[in-house]
Structure 1
Amino acid sequence: MFYLISYDISVDQRRLKIAKLLEGYGQRVLESVFECDLELPAYRQLRQKLNRLIKDEEGDRLRIYRLCASCREQIEIIGDGPPPETSQDIYII
């Protein structure tokens, strides 16, 4: 499944940790926006890690949008930016 994840974190150190975490799961497309193409187990793992980092009481906000295949095909990019990543199937024989 394809996920669009955006965040607004006021504490620099925590914002950096979240960005580093998301870089391991997807592609940064804007300053605080990532696109991630994840299987369900990887998504669940990411959610657990994000839940531990986000501090509601300090005003942290994070949104996750699931995009279906047909919605993903309609992504428009205006200006300079990377195209949406597609996961590559890997076969080990």
Structure 2
Amino acid sequence: MRLVVTYDVSDDANRRQVYRTLERYGAWRQYSVFELDVSKTERVELEDELTTQIEPTDGDRIRLYRLCEACCDSVTDLGVAPPEEQSNVL
């Protein structure tokens, strides 16, 4: 399944953890936005891991958006294209 993950994490150390975790699963697209291609099991593992890396009491939050096939086919990039060399999305 294709996911877009956005995050807003206040603490620098926690933000780095979130970034590194997401980097293992997918591709950085722009500030605080990743695109992932994961299985259902990987999504559960990812959500569990990310939950431990944020502090909701500090206002931290992460949102995961599932993209259907039609949505994936209609993505439009405006401006500079995302960096492909960092991508591990198939």
Q: Common fold, TM-score beyond 0.5?
A: yes
Tell me how many residue pairs correspond in the alignment: 87
SS of residue paired to 1:75: coil
Q: Which amino acid aligns with 2:19?
A: A
Gaps of 5+ in 2: none
Identity of aligned residues (%): 33
Give every structure 1 segment of 4 or more consecutive aligned residues whose post-TM-superposition deviation is greater than 6 Å.
none
RMSD across aligned positions (CA): 1.6
Task: Give the whole-Å Cα distance in 1 for the aligned partners of 2:67 and 2:59.
Answer: 26
Change (3 A) 1:43 1:12: same
Task: Give the whole-Å Cα distance in 2 for the aligned partners of 1:31 and 1:7.
Answer: 9
TM-score normalised by the chain length of structure 2: 0.89
Match of 1:77 in 2: 77
Q: Which amino acid aligns with 2:18?
A: I
TM-score normalised by the chain length of structure 1: 0.87
Q: Is the 8 A contact 2:28 2:34 kept in 1?
A: yes
Q: Deviations over 1:56-81 (max 9, x none)?
A: 10110111100001111101100112
Match of 1:4 in 2: 4
Q: Which amino acid aligns with 1:30?
A: Q
Task: Give the whole-Å Cα distance in 2 for the aligned partners of 1:81 and 1:61.
Answer: 26
Tell which structure's C-alpha radius of gyration is larger: 1
